Amino acid sequence: MTQKLIVDCTAGTEEYVDLTAEEEADMEARAAAGIVRRDEEMAAVEAAAAAKASGEAKLADLGLSADEIAALVG
């Protein structure tokens, strides 16, 4: 079973206690949501990189040099 640390700064004590079933389910749900969010963010980054590469290729097809493309897109 997963445990959590409870710290009482006033008394200067630390105690590990088992998570309740509800706390454990909440922790697992938050972890799963974090994985979904990370995957969505990675997909957005990859899509932006692909769009940039596609745009640069189209500029090159128009006859712009690599230096000109770099000046335009940074």
Looking at residue 1, what is its pLDDT? 81
Q: Find the mean pLDDT for residues 28-35.
A: 98
- Distance from C-alpha of 20 to C-alpha of 17, rounded to nearest angstrom: 9
b/e 15-38 (16+ beta carbons within 10 angstroms → b): eeeeeeeeeeeeeeeeeeeeeeee
Looking at residue 61, what is its pLDDT? 97
Looking at residue 37, what is its pLDDT? 98
- List CB contacts of 64: < 8 A, sequence separation 6 or more: 72
Give the model confidence (pLDDT) of 35-73 as tens digits.
999 999 999 999 999 999 999 999 999 999 999 999 998
Looking at residue 68, what is its pLDDT? 95
Q: Tokens in use for 44?
A: 């957005």
- Distance from C-alpha of 70 to C-alpha of 21, rounded to nearest angstrom: 55
Q: Which domain holds residue 37?
A: 3-73
Domain count, the chain: 1
